[in-house]
Amino acid sequence: MNAHVTQYIPTEEPSVHILGSRVHLVSVTRTVDHIERWIGMRGGCCRQVIVTGFHGLLEAHKSPRIRSILNSAELWVPDGIAPVWLARMHGFRQAVRAPGAEILIEFLERAEKKGYSSYFYGDTEQTLAALCETVARKYPSHRIAGAYSPPFRALTSSEEAAIIERINAAQPDVLWVALGMPKQDIWIHDRLKKLNVPVAIGVGAAFAFVAGTVPRCPTWIGNAGFEWVYRFLKEPKKLWRRDLFDGPRFLFHVGMDLIRKDTSNGTTPLIPE
């Protein structure tokens, strides 16, 4: 574990604005580069990483509070294809997806060489058990600092305090949270000042993908923009509302935003930075 503390340097990455939200155009490799840098700066504040696509953009569009939370994160990574396509339409030809499962795997591969540690919070006890078994077997030099599946109900203040104390006592390099978007991102944001962890990152279904309890989408399907179809066919009961209702709703709002900007002779809603 690197205890050296260096001066904090803000994240500098190209980004686009979509429906009022800022998405950084970073790859899986660049994302983990930032995570490693923050681990090396251990002793400062906890940095939050958002990993989401159109679902997060739509939730942010609907809720000013969620939009403020997501935009305040140190890094917003484009998990889905929608922000990537929109970025490419506006000149960022090299924009790529950075799925949560691939970020986790890339980190584990580096941790195998450098001895980093993780705390896994969220999902079910069965998924966590499978995840820990898989990680321990494939990456024995990576330290699993802890894992906890919270009950599916509102927690008491004493339970919340005990969870934070347990995480901090484990001293992980990265806290991975899988509570679903936006719950996981709100959870992290509201506890940033209490977490003595270099990085906290919400990764949704990544635990199940890495554990092998849910089949991962082949890379070529994801890069072609059809991961949502693959996942919908695998888990229709879980994803039908998001894919069949939220997807078209997102496209409608993006289209209306473009029309409003064009008719008012304003700037495009996607603003390179």
- Encode pLDDT of 37-92 as tens digits: 999 987 778 999 999 988 889 999 999 999 999 999 999 999 878 878 888 877 88
Pairing of strands 21-24, 15-18: antiparallel
Give the number of residues written for the chain.
Answer: 273
- Domains detected in the chain: 18-223 (3.40.50)
Compute CA 249 distance to the chain's CA centroid, rounded to the nearest angstrom.
22
Judged on CB neighbours under 10 Å (0-12, 13-18, 19+), 213 is middle
pLDDT at position 190 is 96
Exposure string of 30-53, with b = 16+ CB inside 10 Å and e = fewer, is: bbbebbbbbbebbeeebbbbbbbb
Asked if pLDDT for residue 188 goes beyond 90, the answer is yes
Distance CA 11, CA 18 (A): 19
Of 42-56, 105-119, 220-234, 253-267, which range is least confident?
Answer: 220-234
Confidence of residue 234 (pLDDT cuts 50, 70, 90): low
Distance between CA 91 and CA 101 in Å, rounded?
27
- pTM of the shown model: 0.81
